[in-house]
Amino acid sequence: MSRIKKEVALSSASNADDLSALKRNRSEIPGSEAGAWIARAVFVASAVLLASAWQPFGLTRWTAVGLGLAAGLLLALAEMRMRHVEIGELVGGATGLVLGIFAAVLVCLVISRTSEAEPTKSFLEYSTLLGFGYLGLFLGAQKGRDLRFREFLQMRPTSLERAAQQAKLLDTSVLIDGRIADICEAQFLDGPLQVPQFVLHELQQIADSSDTLRRQRGRRGLEVLQRIQKMPHVEVTVLETADNLENDVDRRLVELARKTGAKIVTNDFNLNKVASVQGITVLNVNQLANALRPAVLPGEPMRVFVLREGKEANQGVAYLEDGTMVVVDGARRFMNRNVDITVTSVHQTPAGKMIFGRLAEERGEAAPSLARHAVAGRAENGGHTSDATASERTVKREPPDPNKVFD
């Protein structure tokens, strides 16, 4: 467990009202408010000292001190007012002020080319600068309020949100199944894998069960988790969550995925449906296995091992390596033997894919000769048919009904 990183799932404000409430709470903290007033006092005192030391415009010392005090108080009041301004107003006001000053500079260049007296030129230039700056500041602030920068910024996912979207929550069933380790080893899963604390607790309870089968399943899940942890390219994280015994594991897993935006990796059919209804992305290992099964087309040859009898007469049942059932017509007499068959049809059922086939051509060609010998023997025996010849005639049959499910 040395590579497991423990982190606490934190909930954040999801709308503008929650953000404003957080800002109000921060502003009501005595320490932060006292620090802000101390900073304002230091700023005003610095403005007074600078004005007293430099005495601009040839002013006397006390006049310069009064000018520095007035300038410091004015800026402090402006800062207090701007603290309550929306970000859209700030961005819009700053943009409008810059554009207003740029327009004023262009007008001042035209005024400087005129033949008016210098006092008139100076008055017009300064008036233009103040007027365009005033208009740009307040019009930009008003228009910036309508742009809703806050909503735009909230719509952009942060790095933590992107990491949460890439994260995947592992269910108990997928750990017990064990195929998730092979998928991780093949590097088909990216992003951090997260195991909630209640899932780990459920695995421990299953491993401590008095039932031998449940105990083996729980231990297998823990072993699979340890195997994934040892993979250098996979990051495994255990999420510490609040103990809530009222809800079951599946419901708590869905709530955690909806809160963090992570995906759920599971084998549970019911959990897959419930999470999909609520808009949560689910990665089902069973669906992945069904999608990766090789495609089989009618007419393709195949060699299978007949394992048991089928439900219908003379049918044999075989299984592929991935567990797909193969029903072979006329293969009951080849029990526990490898036979060559030809695929006749493939049917997809809710339980999985079923393949129907018949014996290969070389075996099918022997059936007519056996039938001819049977006819000859029946003629020699006075029209009586033996049980052996009757069984040989069952080699050539119509394909079985695909709607019948075999045990």
Q: What is the DSSP string of 35-61?
A: HHHHHHHHHHHHHHHHHHHH-GGG--H
pLDDT value of residue 208: 92
Distance in angstroms (rounded) separating the CA atoms of residues 199 and 169 = 10
**Helix/strand/coil for 337:** coil
Quick one: pLDDT band at residue 148, thresholds 50, 70, 90? Answer: low
Whether the predicted pLDDT of 131 surpasses 90? no
pLDDT value of residue 2: 40
Residue 339 DSSP one-character state: E
pLDDT value of residue 306: 92
Closest CA to 266 of 335, 170, 357: 170
- Helix (H) / strand (E) element for 83: namely none
**Tokens 């009041």 map to which residue?**
77
Q: What is the pLDDT of residues 190-204, one digit of tens each?
A: 778 999 989 999 999
Whole-structure pTM value: 0.45
Could you tell me which residues come within 8 angstroms of residue 365 by beta carbon, excluding any fewer than 6 positions away? none
- Domains, in order of start, for the chain: 160-291 (3.40.50.1010), 301-393 (2.40.50)
Instruction: Enumerate helices (H) and strands (E) in the chain, giving the number of each.
Output: 17, 11
Contacts 24+ apart (CB under 8 A), 103-111: 103/132, 103/136, 104/128, 104/129, 104/131, 104/132, 104/133, 105/129, 107/132
Q: What is the pLDDT of residues 169-194, one digit of tens each?
A: 999 999 999 889 989 988 888 778 99
Quick one: pLDDT band at residue 220, thresholds 50, 70, 90? Answer: very high
Q: What is the pLDDT of residues 349-379, one digit of tens each?
A: 766 778 999 998 544 444 343 333 333 344 4
Q: What is the pLDDT of residues 227-266, one digit of tens each?
A: 999 998 888 888 887 766 666 888 889 988 888 888 999 9
Sign of torsion, CA 172 173 179 183?
A: negative
Whether the predicted pLDDT of 387 surpasses 70? no
